């Protein structure tokens, strides 16, 4: 299956076999491999084979395939590593901390007391502000 590529993209190079990875699995639309900067042992990535940077531009069916691959990897992580939990994380744009602009879902095993900065305290929001933003979103859905 043909898909868009970017010659300067590190994940496109991995998909093309031009640079190595610890490949977990591969199917028509996706590939999964180990993250080389793991937040915890077992940190892996489910990656679209095509070069689409973010969730707003990737075709819906490809995003679904990436999610299915993330699920397969998460099941393997849970079975083999028995972590305290698993986070799936997907960043869009530098403002969200995305460093590789080629869509991927992180599969992050979690350990009690680890220092992964993903969780936050619940602070009740202002209901009028929530409703005002809700109306803006509803208007474009």
Among 11, 45, 66, 77, binds Zn ion (CB under 5 A): 11
Q: Which of 2, 37 has the CB closer to ligand AMP?
A: 37
Q: Is 37 in the site for ligand AMP (CB under 6 A)?
A: yes
Tokens 């991995």 correspond to what residue? 14
**114 and 38 Cβ atoms separated by less than 8 Å:** no
Residues in the chain: 141
Q: Which of 11, 33 has the CB closer to Zn ion?
A: 11
Structure-token pair, residue 43: 């940190």
Structure-token pair, residue 81: 């590593």
Cβ-Cβ contacts under 8 Å for 80 (sequence gap 6 or more): 42
CA distances (Å), origin 19, targets 5, 83, 84, 114, 133: 15, 29, 32, 31, 44
Among 6, 35, 76, 87, binds ligand AMP (CB under 6 A): 35
Question: What does the per-residue mask of binding to ligand AMP show for 55-94, with x meaning CB under 6 A?
Answer: ------------------------------------x---
The alpha carbon of 63 is separated from its chain's Cα centroid by a whole number of angstroms, namely 10
* Whether 102 is catalytic: no
Q: Which of 43, 102, 104, 106 is catalytic?
A: 104
Among 29, 43, 49, 51, binds Zn ion (CB under 5 A): 51
Contact residues for ligand AMP, defined by CB under 6 A: 10, 21, 33, 35-37, 91, 97-100
Contact residues for Zn ion, defined by CB under 5 A: 6, 9, 11-12, 51, 102
């Amino acid at each position: 299956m043909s898909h868009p590529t970017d010659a300067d993209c590190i994940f496109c190079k991995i998909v093309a076999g031009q640079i190595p990875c610890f490949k977990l699995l591969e199917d028509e639309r996706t590939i999964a491999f180990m993250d080389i900067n793991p937040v915890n042992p077992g940190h892996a990535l489910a990656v679209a084979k095509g070069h689409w940077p973010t969730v707003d531009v990737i075709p819906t069916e490809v995003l679904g395939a990436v999610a299915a691959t993330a699920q397969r990897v998460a099941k393997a992580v849970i079975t083999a590593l028995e972590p305290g939990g698993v986070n799936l994380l997907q960043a869009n744009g530098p403002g969200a901390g995305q460093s590789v602009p080629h869509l991927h879902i992180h599969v992050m095993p979690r350990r009690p007391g680890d220092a992964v900065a993903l969780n936050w305290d619940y602070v009740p929001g202002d209901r009028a502000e929530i409703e005002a933003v809700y109306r803006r979103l509803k208007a474009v859905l």
